Amino acid sequence: AQSVAQPEDQVNVAEGNPLTVKCTYSVSGNPYLFWYVQYPNRGLQFLLKYITGDNLVKGSYGFEAEFNKSQTSFHLKKPSALVSDSALYFCAVRGRSGNTGKLIFGQGTTLQVKP
Amino acid sequence: GAGVSQTPSNKVTEKGKYVELRCDPISGHTALYWYRQSLGQGPEFLIYFQGTGAADDSGLPNDRFFAVRPEGSVSTLKIQRTERGDSAVYLCASSRGVGEAYEQYFGPGTRLTVT
């Protein structure tokens, strides 16, 4: 069965420090990988995706993510955190086989950036 | 341009009643998805439409749940004989298609409360 794990319920960082939000997955074959962010009372917003090619993917708002096939991980990173980055982050995967765009989401990680 | 819209934003209903939730996708998006998000969890896939047809309904929990997209644009999620366990935020998303891992754009959701 396909699954996504975000091992940390919450990540706390100080503003200006680098941040990492972890994600590991269990999917047969090579999946498509996504990160979404959810601000309070707002819908999920797309941040970035990995399809193929370079393992380091750059996305919106200075975020990037590193795909590691051997570790089946897709960790979200940012070199310098902002207080405004505080939100709920979701990792998601989608299989390449079949004709479905179904996303499997992790349970989410709350990022708290303190001034 | 306009994003995905969902109505109503909130719906309170009594156990056993019938409800309809509406989704207006981004214009020109052929793929439409419904997800359900319970408190503290990531979104859970329900059903996916490509055009007018349901291409994957494997996530619908039981036969009380049904969705339609008669003209390939607006979709309605219908829940019969609602139960308290149906209380959740129902999210709709749309994408340009399924191939090339098009990202999904999410609406703000409908918060359903069954009393």
- Rounded to an integer, what is the distance from CA A85 to the centroid of its chain? 13
For position A28, what pLDDT does the model report?
A: 81
Rounded Cα distance between B12 and A3, Å, is: 32
Residue A67 tokens read as 């795909």
Region A34-57: what's the mean pLDDT? 91
Predicted confidence (pLDDT) per residue in A49-86, tens digit: 998 888 999 999 999 999 999 999 999 999 999 999 99
Cα of A72 to nearest chain B Cα, Å = 19
For position A99, what pLDDT does the model report?
A: 62
Share of chain B above pLDDT 70, in %: 98
Residues of B with CB below 8 A from A94's CB? Answer: 101
Q: Above 60 in pLDDT, residue B109?
A: yes
Are B40 and A107 in contact (CB < 8 Å)? yes
Q: Above 80 in pLDDT, residue A6?
A: yes
Q: Which residue in this structure is represented by tokens 């200006």?
A: A16
Q: Above 90 in pLDDT, residue B79?
A: yes
**Confidence bin at B89 (pLDDT 50/70/90):** very high
Predicted confidence (pLDDT) per residue in B55-74, tens digit: 899 999 999 999 999 998 99
For position B100, what pLDDT does the model report?
A: 65
Note whether B70 contacts A: Cβ–Cβ < 8 A: no
What is residue B25's DSSP assignment? P
Cα of A34 to nearest chain B Cα, Å = 8
Cα of B40 to nearest chain A Cα, Å = 7
8 A C-beta contact, residue B92 and residue B6: yes
Are A42 and B95 in contact (CB < 8 Å)? no
Residue A70 tokens read as 């051997």
For position B107, what pLDDT does the model report?
A: 95
Rounded Cα distance between B86 and A47, Å, is: 29
Are B43 and A101 in contact (CB < 8 Å)? no
Contacts of B85 (CB under 8 A, 6+ apart): B114
Pairing state between β B10-13 and B110-114: parallel
What is residue A41's DSSP assignment? T
Strands (E), B16-57: 19-24, 31-37, 44-50, 53-56
For position A79, what pLDDT does the model report?
A: 97
Are A103 and B43 in contact (CB < 8 Å)? yes
